[in-house]
Structure 1
Amino acid sequence: MKALIESIVTPLVDHPEDIVITESEEETKIVYHLTVHGDDVGKVIGKNGRIAKAIRTVVYATKQKSKKRIYLDIM
């Protein structure tokens, strides 16, 4: 999943070396925290959050072996 998120975000940003994706797992959910360079946050979120919503849609649509819900947090 981290590779998928990174492959989607890398072409959008000017500083791909600053992309950090961490994973935290709880009983009912898996949360991926995406951190990018300060100048690139707007590019990842997009106008009115459209790009962030599209990224989340792709991530949420992927099949998982576990039955846990997946969340993507963009910082």
Structure 2
Amino acid sequence: MPQLDTSTWFITILSMIITLFLVFQLKVSKHNFPENPEPKLMTTSKTTAPWEKKWTKIYFPHSLPLQ
């Protein structure tokens, strides 16, 4: 039974890693990054839900006095 020839594995794996690195660098270099990123000022609008119009109180069982 013939033996598996592993003499070319190193150069194959090394060339694959170099090729992937170059492809990744080309992809990143074509991407346009903003020169001076600044946070956007967002205005939050207050939405009123029907249950916010009434006064409600939720009683937590542990906050009730002992009986």
TM-score by length of structure 2 reads 0.28
Larger % of strand: which? Answer: 1
More RCO (CA 8 Å, sep 6+): 1
**Structure of greater Rg:** 2
Larger % of helix: which? Answer: 1
TM-score by length of structure 1 reads 0.25
